[in-house]
Amino acid sequence: MSIFLKIEKNATGRDYIVGDIHGHLDQLDHQLEEVTFDPSCDRLFCLGDLVDRGRYSESLLARIDQKTYFSTLGNHEAMMIAGFEGPEGTLRHKANGGEWFYELPLTARQNLVRQVRSWPWAIELDTGKQKLGLIHANVIDSNWPHTLHTLSSISEAWLSGVSFDDNCLIKNTVEKLLWDRSLAQKLYGDVLAMGRKKRTLTEYKSLFLERLHAIGTACSESLKPFNIVGIDALYLGHNFVPKSVVLGKCHFLDSYRGGIGERLSLVCVNEPD
């Protein structure tokens, strides 16, 4: 068992990748129905953060089997684990939409933590034409092989039950791969020139969409952090974008907060031969 999962080409169906769902199973099912998703041959890959905020966190976790419905670990699943393991983590998780978890019986909470602790932190998906990297927030030094090497060095300790705070390398790795916002900050600041002014969500969405044209004229220097070494494309959640965005090799898919007119970014990355 490992916290890196390598998935071979789907020879019979389609593969979809979706951004952060956050308990909105009804929205996911609606969009899967629109594309006539067939679980007998199609596969769905989630980028973490299935839980919190929406009403169906527990049902979403139950769907992940890492066979048809896959997911990487997100920072909200990490908060759920930390919240189960200590009181400081509990407060943080509750403050970020995790109240539902603490209303469950102890046995149910134990089972959910055991489940998500076994999830991969990164997935490499072969489409037959490309190798895709799937991770929640970021990679190490814009380098996919370096990221996988780090994961291999913490995998045994993590899967044995070592907590975030009891291992410095695990703690540093979770901060980089599941929490880091530096790529998004470069997108907002260096490419879209949105500045640091505080804005309402409506103002943010409007300005983001207004500045999207800047991606097409971004200079090579500003694109460097987004041209990830060792993988053909990288799919990311974690950082909200009103519309899915591709910059360099990076695909930002966290586009849904449950607002009117919003949709999950659900992307088909292959078609069967």
Q: What is the pLDDT of residue 151?
A: 97
Q: Is 273 contained in some domain?
A: no
pLDDT surpassing 90 at residue 271: no
Q: Is 181 contained in some domain?
A: yes
pLDDT in tens, 121-171: 999 999 999 999 999 999 999 999 999 999 999 999 999 999 988 999 999
Domain span at residue 231? 4-268
Q: What is the pLDDT of residue 201?
A: 84
Q: Is 145 contained in some domain?
A: yes
Instruction: Give the CATH number of the domain where residue 96 resides.
Output: 3.60.21.10
Percent of the chain whose predicted confidence (pLDDT) is above 70:
99
Q: Is 238 contained in some domain?
A: yes
Quote the distance between the C-alpha of residue 26 and its chain's center. 19
Q: Is 262 contained in some domain?
A: yes
pLDDT in tens, 57-87: 999 999 999 999 999 999 999 999 999 998 8
What pTM value is reported for the model? 0.96
Confidence of residue 172 (pLDDT cuts 50, 70, 90): very high
Q: Is 124 contained in some domain?
A: yes
SS in 3 state form for the chain?
CCCEEEECCCCCCCEEEECCCCCCHHHHHHHHHHCCCCCCCCEEEECCCCCCCCCCHHHHHHHCCCCCEEECCCHHHHHHHHHHHCHHHHHHHHHCCCHHHHCCCHHHHHHHHHHHHCCCCEEEEECCCCEEEEECCCCHHHEHHHHHHHHHHHHHHHHCCCCHHHCHHHHHHHHHHHHCCHHHHHHHHHHCCCCCCCCCHHHHHHHHHHHHHHHHHCCHHHHHHHCCECCCEEEECCCCCCCCEEECCEEECCCCCCCCCCCCCEEECCCCC
Q: What is the pLDDT of residue 1?
A: 60
Contact between 251 and 231 (Cβ < 8 Å): no
Q: What is the pLDDT of residue 198?
A: 82
* Section 200-212 average pLDDT: 89
Q: Is 34 contained in some domain?
A: yes
pLDDT surpassing 80 at residue 20: yes
Q: Is 242 contained in some domain?
A: yes
* Domain count within the chain: 1
* Section 4-16 average pLDDT: 96
